[in-house]
Chains A and B, each alone.
Chain A
Amino acid sequence: MKVILVGRGKIVYYLARQFSKKRIEALIVTPDAAEAEALARRLSVPVLAGDGTDPKVLQEAGAYRADAVLALLANDEDNLAVCQIAGRMYQVPRTIALVNDPENEEIFQRLDVSVAISATRILSTLLGEHAGFEEVAKIVSLAEGNVSVSEFILRDSAPAAGKTVKAVELPDEALIGGIVRNGKVLIPKGGTKLLAGDRLVVIATRESLDDALRSLAGDLET
Chain B
Amino acid sequence: MNRRNTDNSQDVVIVGCGRLGAMLASRLSRSGNRVVVIDKDGTAFALIDAGFSGFQVTGDAVEQDVLREAGLEKADCLLATTEKDTLNLMVAQVAKIIFEVPKVLARVYDPKREGLYLKHGIEIISPTSLTGEKFLHLILDEQVPS
Contacts of A85 in B (CB 8 A): 113, 116
* Interchain CB contact under 8 A, B116 and A76: no
Residues in A with CB closer than 8 Å to B84 are 77
Closest to A59 in B: B112
A88 touches B86 (CB 8 A): no
B84 (CB) vs chain A CBs: closest residue: A77
**In the assembled complex, A104 has its CB within 8 A of some CB on chain B:** yes
Cβ-based interface call for B93 (8 A): yes
A-B contact count (CB 8 A): 51
State A53–B113 Cα separation when bound (angstroms).
Answer: 9
Q: Is the interface of B mostly helix, strand, loop or mixed?
A: helix
A103 to B113, CA, bound (A): 25
Interface flag for B65 (CB, 8 Å): yes
In angstroms, Cα B142 to Cα A135, docked, is: 77
- Closest Cβ–Cβ distance, residue A69 to chain B (whole Å): 15
CB contact under 8 A between A84 and B116, given known A77-B89, A107-B94, A111-B93: yes
Within 8 A of B (CB), among A142-189: none
Asked if B62 and A75 sit within 8 Å, CB to CB, the answer is yes
Tally of contact residues, A, Cβ under 8 A: 20
Chain A's closest residue to B113 (CB) is A55
A177 to chain B, nearest CB (A): 41
**Bound CA–CA A53/B86 (angstroms):** 8
- Interface pair A56/B86, CB less than 8 Å apart: no
Cα-based distance from A75 to B89 in the complex (angstroms): 13
Instruction: Decide if A101 is an interface residue (CB 8 Å cutoff).
Output: yes
B112 touches A56 (CB 8 A): yes
Q: Mark B53-70, 1 if CB is under 8 A from A, else 0.
A: 000000000111100000
The contact of A103 among B63, B93, B112, B116, by CB within 8 Å, is B63
A84-136 with Cβ < 8 A to chain B: 84-85, 88-89, 101, 103-104, 107, 110-111
Residues of A participating in the B interface, judged by any CB pair closer than 8 Å: 53-56, 75-78, 80-81, 84-85, 88-89, 101, 103-104, 107, 110-111
The chain B residues found within 8 Å of chain A, CB to CB, are: 62-65, 84-87, 89-91, 93-94, 97-98, 110, 112-113, 116
